[in-house]
Chains A and B, each alone.
Chain A
Amino acid sequence: MSFLDHIDPLTETAIAELTAAADSAELDRARVRYLGLNGEVTALLKQLGTLPKEQRPEAGQKINRAKNRLESLLNERRTELELAASLPKVPSDFTLPGRRPTVGRLHPLTQITEEIVRSFRKIGFAVADGPEVEDDYHCFDALNTPADHPARDTQDTFFIRQGTAASQPATSPTPMILRTHTSSVQIRVMEKQPPPVRIIVPGRVYRRDNADATHNPTFHQVEGLYVDRGITVGDLKGTVEFVFRDLMGPDTKIRFRPHYFSYTEPSFEIDFSSALTRKMGRDWLEIAGCGMVHPKVFENVGYDPETWTGWAFGFGIERIAMIRYGVTDIRLFYENDQRFLRQF
């Protein structure tokens, strides 16, 4: 009986063993036993040389077929076992809380400001900026609000102490103040650039009010200014309507009421009405002031009021945020309680 007669039974045994292997360690042991360097199948190949030359090809093919069969089975089983090993042992509890990376939030006032800026940019406005510490020329006089103007009474202003306490300057320099409105930037921009002008100015402003639920000495405004040829009250209304609908929802109604600001004429206050105001039990809620730029203001910055007309408006960002989110105390914006900030 030739060793060739062992091929088939050996193959069958090997197949059984590979199939039965319960994990990759057992599988590996079976591999070594049959297909390893000193394995039984490998041994058969080594015995080929003992056969007569003419029998060798046939015998070799037979052994190789068996070996290939075993190797493919081995690979198949290995994949199977590896897969089995990688399956979860215990089913996962999908209700456990996830591991959350921290992503910060923007301050609600920033979010509102960004929305306002986005709305205005849609219709061609650029963002402008100016100093918060101002002189009273830019904050008042240039805006047609001279020193003895009654309108100046309504704005209580913070003054910067000049010189040190020890050495007060001999001649009183121009008083420096904290700007009471962003309108001062209108003047700064128009002084610097020729018309047309189309800007919005978000920023901090200051009034000498003690902090309470509706006041904080620091708050934010957005100013809009558009100067061009042939600008009309209709343009002002159209833009205000566009922006407020964009901002407060398409059901928002806008109402203009004649009012008085020294730097615009005619001047208006803007009321809006929406589901939000109705929820607050009000038909109309005052939200902004606006008007056509007063010719005197144009004269002050060297624009010819016969050629150029324009409008300006301004509103408080806190007020919008308070209405939008139902915040009832302005101080919350400046306390930065994380439980507050994380709601927006």
Chain B
Amino acid sequence: MKVTLNWLKQYVAFDWTAEELAERLTMLGLEVEGIVKSGGEFEGIVVGEVLTRNKVEGSDKLSVCRVNDGTGERQVICGAQNFKAGDKVALILPGASLPAKPGEPPFTIKVRKVMGVESHGMLCSPRELGLAEDADGILILPPEARTGQSFAEHLGCAAGDVVFDLEVTPNRPDLNSLIGIAREIAAVTGNPLRIPNLESLKAATADPSAGKPQTRPTDQWVTVRLEAPDLCPRYVARVVSGVKIGPSPDWLRQALGKVGIRSISNVVDVTNFVMLETGQPLHAFDYSLLTRPTDSAASAATPTIVVRRATPGETFTTLDGKKHTLNEGNLLIADSVKGIALAGVMGGQNTEINDQTSDVLIESAYFHPTHIRATSKQLDLRTESSYRFERGADVGIADWASRRCVQLILETAGGLPTPGVVDAYPAPAPLAEVCLRFSKTNALLGIEIAGTEQRRLLESLSLEPTASSDTEGTFRIPSFRVDLKREIDLIEEVCRLYGIDKIPGTTPRGAVGFNDFDRTHDALTEVRHLMNALGLDECQGQTLISDSAAAHLTPTEETVFLSHPLSADMNVLRPSLIPGLLDTLSRNAHHKNPDVAMFEIGRVFSNRDGKVIENRELAIALTGLRANPFWAGDDRSAKCDLFDLKGLLEEFFEQFGLPRIAWNRNPSPRSLYVESAAILLGGKLPLGELGQLHPLLAKQHDLRNPVFLARLDLDAVLARRNQSRSFKAIPQFPTVRRDVALLLPETVTHDSVLGAVRQSKTANLQQVDLFDVFKGQNVPEGQKSMAYAFTYRHAERTLTDNEVNTAHAALVTQITKKLGATVRE
């Protein structure tokens, strides 16, 4: 909502500067989003009187004029043809600038020579003054304009003006009007609200002795039938006959222009002006275009305004020339045969005010917010009118706004008002009453505001106390305050007017919170910190990804789709964090960083029989160099491999108390991987998977080095996390180590070696460590050498060489027999 400082001052007195007003309104909850100062723009422009006009020799168009600027005469060259000696004009003096057009530098007038003749100023056109979009010739002012007066003063905005852009919250439709905003200022300043006086109108309609011709009363011009009182409970109609449609006077064009509304014609501008003034949208119809009943009874020849639901498939063309197909959910203003306005949204082309319009029917109605909202949304048609109705207009102002509209039409377009009104309001809604316990305000705000003070604050907002005691008050809620429904709403008003800045903050106190999730939050933090310690950076990916990326990780039927995605790149909820990590790797690779080790913790989504399941996942991606760059060492250019990733996971599982993890190779990995393994807890419960990204996908993501990926079901991991720790005595007796290198068939896994060792049940064997795996020289084709260190220890005594040797020899024999291995000497 845009308002100007000067316009506001018509309704309430205040002496704040623009900045002070902005601050006060903001602290009342009407946030000022922008302040634009204007009006200094007419500096150096005065009302001039053309004294003489003569042709410039040698030119068809140019004339040389003597112009009185109020202090003396000056010579001005002008190219326009629409003026004569004696006309009052807008004269800009040398050194002054024309009002700047948006995005253009201001044009400054200088004394200059045109065809050898000096020009000391310029006569301005409405376009140059920013008063109209298109205009031929210069602006001719009314003869009564005072020569020498500043042009701004002539327009009635002498001190310049300030336009405020206000953010009106959806609960306060009453603030979509000048009077509404002025009411807030009145409440804060204590100055009275000055509502425009409609006395002149009374005189115009009620005094036949005034010598003006009289016209028949309104109800003989029009009747109104409400067929859907649930959607339109009130419809006020008035007629002004014999108007002369034309351009609006300057003050009206200016007022609308400053707040961004284009001037159309005097009558239409007045309806807009009154809408801005009161918040009540109005519509003017060309009365002559309403269909009259054809039967000849004179009294019945009155057009009827029918407020009805559209018939299914009924078409209607709005003012903007768009044709809409309607249904029963849309409300139409109609005459006996056709729709004439889309109720509360936009008028119809068929009854639009035009140059020939002489009689005007003014509509001032109330339409139900939900209905207007639905229609406006359905037809994708949003107007100043629909905006106000869908937020809740003031049913009580309909008649006043209608009268104000008539008053201003008479002022700007002439004509005769019809006596009386047609006000179809079959079931006037009683004003609501709300009771406020003053103690409740104080309990909620945490301060003491006396009951009398609370009552005063509410009264200043035009809430009328109907009953009041020391402890509570009942207030009648004016019809424009649709947001005040219950006690808490009144408390808010007291708080707002009292000033939130005057309520002191109190030191935090009170109950200790608890929530089951609290521990989980800490566990997640722990996982993050551990991942950092393991050398991984944390990243955060998009939740919304493409279904094609998701397809590598989950079947389509388990994917959660959006119904109206923003784009095909973001049409599903991620089933895993892996696609996001791949994007991250890819983006880093594009920025010449091929070495990335990252993890993400986040939610992933899957569709199980129509139910959306959310799980937390931990995903890891490694690619490129294993270690930070260094300037020495044979392995400094070593790249990450599968076992870097596995090592991270092993450390993670150990720290989170999850022993006995099995790593089962997938014989047929999903399309994402070239090779992968399932991660199983206790050999059974799936915790996740790890693997190497398929080279084709790596290529698609421009990743040159092998990429290793892992994902864990973090909910499952945390659920089985074992945090219990217990002390075991530190061994007293020394260990004995025996190494053996085994030649094994290539396909034999480390796990099966360990299995064979376990099976042997060798006494005093504490630990088995693999310390070398080797293929190549001296190892036959199809075989590999695996070197193990076996550590023996007895808990209560030192083992002798002999007993270790015997046990170890037996162990080696068993393993070799079991695995078809030979001992490599």
A and B are partners in one complex rather than unrelated chains: yes
Report the nearest B residue to A202, measured CB to CB: B521
**A133 on interface, CB distance cutoff 8 Å:** yes
B486 touches A295 (CB 8 A): yes
B612 touches A124 (CB 8 A): no
How close is B376's CB to chain A, nearest CB, in angstroms?
Answer: 10
Top 3 A-B pairs, shortest CB-CB distance:
A232-B446, A198-B513, A234-B446
What are 17 A-B contacts with C-beta separation under 8 Å? A103-B532, A104-B599, A105-B532, A124-B510, A131-B614, A132-B605, A148-B370, A196-B510, A208-B566, A217-B544, A232-B447, A236-B505, A260-B29, A265-B492, A334-B541, A334-B542, A338-B598
**A2 on interface, CB distance cutoff 8 Å:** no
**A151 on interface, CB distance cutoff 8 Å:** yes
**A127 on interface, CB distance cutoff 8 Å:** yes
B598 touches A336 (CB 8 A): yes
How close is A173's CB to chain B, nearest CB, in angstroms?
Answer: 8
Binding site for B on A (CB under 8 A): 96-97, 99-107, 109-110, 114, 117, 123-129, 131-133, 148-151, 153-154, 158-165, 169, 173, 176, 178, 189, 193, 196-199, 204, 206, 208, 210, 216-218, 226, 228, 230-242, 255-260, 262, 265-269, 292, 294-295, 309, 333-339, 341-342
- Known contacts A126-B515, A231-B510; decide if A103 and B495 are in contact (CB<8 Å): no
Secondary structure at the A interface, as helix, strand, loop or mixed, is: mixed
Kindly list chain B residues whose C-beta atoms are within 8 Å of the C-beta of A241.
Answer: 505
B489 touches A265 (CB 8 A): yes
How close is B507's CB to chain A, nearest CB, in angstroms?
Answer: 5
- Complex Cα distance, B117 from A236, in Å, reads 74
A233 touches B444 (CB 8 A): yes
Partner of B170, one of A127, A154, A228: A154
Secondary structure at the B interface, as helix, strand, loop or mixed, is: mixed
B169 touches A259 (CB 8 A): yes
- Complex Cα distance, B513 from A160, in Å, reads 33
A103 touches B496 (CB 8 A): no
Report the nearest A residue to B596, measured CB to CB: A338
A102 touches B538 (CB 8 A): no
Kindly list chain B residues whose C-beta atoms are within 8 Å of the C-beta of A256.
Answer: 500-501
- Known contacts A104-B531, A127-B518; decide if A336 and B541 are in contact (CB<8 Å): yes
- Complex Cα distance, B370 from A236, in Å, reads 34
Kindly list chain A residues whose C-beta atoms are within 8 Å of the C-beta of B508.
Answer: 123-124, 235, 238-239, 242
**B228 on interface, CB distance cutoff 8 Å:** no
Partner of B506, one of A148, A217, A234, A295: A234
In chain B, positions 598-623 with a C-beta closer than 8 Å to chain A are 598-599, 602-603, 605, 610, 612, 614
**B666 on interface, CB distance cutoff 8 Å:** no
A160 touches B515 (CB 8 A): no
B510 touches A336 (CB 8 A): no
B27 touches A266 (CB 8 A): no
A237 touches B503 (CB 8 A): yes
- Known contacts A103-B532, A196-B510; decide if A257 and B628 are in contact (CB<8 Å): no
- Complex Cα distance, B537 from A327, in Å, reads 19
B31 touches A257 (CB 8 A): yes
- Complex Cα distance, B443 from A338, in Å, reads 52
- Complex Cα distance, B169 from A256, in Å, reads 16
B504 touches A234 (CB 8 A): yes
**B234 on interface, CB distance cutoff 8 Å:** no
- Known contacts A159-B562, A161-B562, A196-B511; decide if A96 and B444 are in contact (CB<8 Å): no
How close is B331's CB to chain A, nearest CB, in angstroms?
Answer: 15
A189 touches B515 (CB 8 A): yes
How close is A93's CB to chain B, nearest CB, in angstroms?
Answer: 11
B169 touches A260 (CB 8 A): yes
- Known contacts A259-B169, A337-B591; decide if A150 and B390 are in contact (CB<8 Å): yes
Partner of B500, one of A126, A153, A268: A268
Partner of A198, one of B500, B510, B598: B510
Report the nearest B residue to A284, measured CB to CB: B26
**B661 on interface, CB distance cutoff 8 Å:** no
Kindly list chain A residues whose C-beta atoms are within 8 Å of the C-beta of B584.
Answer: 335-336
B496 touches A258 (CB 8 A): yes
Listed residue (B373, B511, B602, B631) with the most chain A CB atoms within 10 angstroms of its CB? B511
Listed residue (A109, A204, A218, A339) with the most chain B CB atoms within 10 angstroms of its CB? A218
- Complex Cα distance, B517 from A189, in Å, reads 11
Q: Beyond the given A124-B510, A237-B503, could you list 10 further A-B residue pairs with CB under 8 A, ordered by the A residue number?
A: A102-B628, A127-B515, A150-B373, A233-B445, A235-B510, A258-B495, A266-B492, A266-B496, A309-B443, A336-B584
Kindly list chain B residues whose C-beta atoms are within 8 Å of the C-beta of A114.
Answer: 525
In chain B, positions 84-121 with a C-beta closer than 8 Å to chain A are none
How close is A268's CB to chain B, nearest CB, in angstroms?
Answer: 6
B537 touches A104 (CB 8 A): yes
How close is A163's CB to chain B, nearest CB, in angstroms?
Answer: 7
Partner of B369, one of A148, A216, A262, A334: A148
B521 touches A341 (CB 8 A): no
- Complex Cα distance, B774 from A66, in Å, reads 56
Report the nearest A residue to B489, measured CB to CB: A265
Report the nearest B residue to A189, measured CB to CB: B515
A294 touches B27 (CB 8 A): no
Report the nearest A residue to B512, measured CB to CB: A124
**Chain B 265-276 against A: per-residue CB contact (8 Å), 1 yes, 0 no?**
000000000000
- Known contacts A217-B566, A257-B500, A258-B29; decide if A338 and B531 are in contact (CB<8 Å): no
In chain B, positions 520-547 with a C-beta closer than 8 Å to chain A are 520-521, 525, 528-529, 531-544
**B564 on interface, CB distance cutoff 8 Å:** yes
How close is A224's CB to chain B, nearest CB, in angstroms?
Answer: 10
B496 touches A105 (CB 8 A): no
- Complex Cα distance, B458 from A117, in Å, reads 40
Report the nearest B residue to A224, measured CB to CB: B513
Report the nearest B residue to A165, measured CB to CB: B561
Kindly list chain A residues whose C-beta atoms are within 8 Å of the C-beta of B739.
Answer: none
Kindly list chain A residues whose C-beta atoms are within 8 Å of the C-beta of B51.
Answer: none
Report the nearest B residue to A238, measured CB to CB: B505
Kindly list chain B residues whose C-beta atoms are within 8 Å of the C-beta of A238.
Answer: 504-508
B603 touches A126 (CB 8 A): no
- Complex Cα distance, B503 from A268, in Å, reads 13
**Chain B 565-597 against A: per-residue CB contact (8 Å), 1 yes, 0 no?**
110001001000000000010011001010011
**B784 on interface, CB distance cutoff 8 Å:** no
- Complex Cα distance, B443 from A228, in Å, reads 12
How close is A164's CB to chain B, nearest CB, in angstroms?
Answer: 6
- Known contacts A103-B535, A242-B507, A339-B591; decide if A199 and B541 are in contact (CB<8 Å): no
- Complex Cα distance, B762 from A6, in Å, reads 63
Kindly list chain B residues whose C-beta atoms are within 8 Å of the C-beta of A204.
Answer: 543, 602-603
A198 touches B511 (CB 8 A): yes
A233 touches B446 (CB 8 A): yes
Kindly list chain A residues whose C-beta atoms are within 8 Å of the C-beta of B26.
Answer: 257
- Known contacts A160-B612, A206-B543, A334-B542; decide if A255 and B445 are in contact (CB<8 Å): no
- Complex Cα distance, B542 from A210, in Å, reads 13
Partner of B521, one of A129, A162, A231: A129
How close is A344's CB to chain B, nearest CB, in angstroms?
Answer: 10
Listed residue (B28, B488, B541, B564) with the most chain A CB atoms within 10 angstroms of its CB? B488
How close is B645's CB to chain A, nearest CB, in angstroms?
Answer: 14
Kindly list chain A residues whose C-beta atoms are within 8 Å of the C-beta of B610.
Answer: 162-163, 169, 173
B512 touches A232 (CB 8 A): no
B627 touches A105 (CB 8 A): no
Listed residue (B169, B369, B489, B496) with the most chain A CB atoms within 10 angstroms of its CB? B169
B631 touches A96 (CB 8 A): yes
How close is B422's CB to chain A, nearest CB, in angstroms?
Answer: 30
- Complex Cα distance, B505 from A242, in Å, reads 9
**B491 on interface, CB distance cutoff 8 Å:** yes
How close is B823's CB to chain A, nearest CB, in angstroms?
Answer: 38
Report the nearest B residue to A205, measured CB to CB: B543
B515 touches A336 (CB 8 A): no
Kindly list chain A residues whose C-beta atoms are within 8 Å of the C-beta of B771.
Answer: none
Report the nearest A residue to B539, measured CB to CB: A336
- Known contacts A159-B562, A260-B170; decide if A232 and B496 are in contact (CB<8 Å): no
Kindly list chain B residues whose C-beta atoms are within 8 Å of the C-beta of A226.
Answer: 510-511, 513
- Complex Cα distance, B369 from A230, in Å, reads 36
Kindly list chain A residues whose C-beta atoms are within 8 Å of the C-beta of B557.
Answer: 164
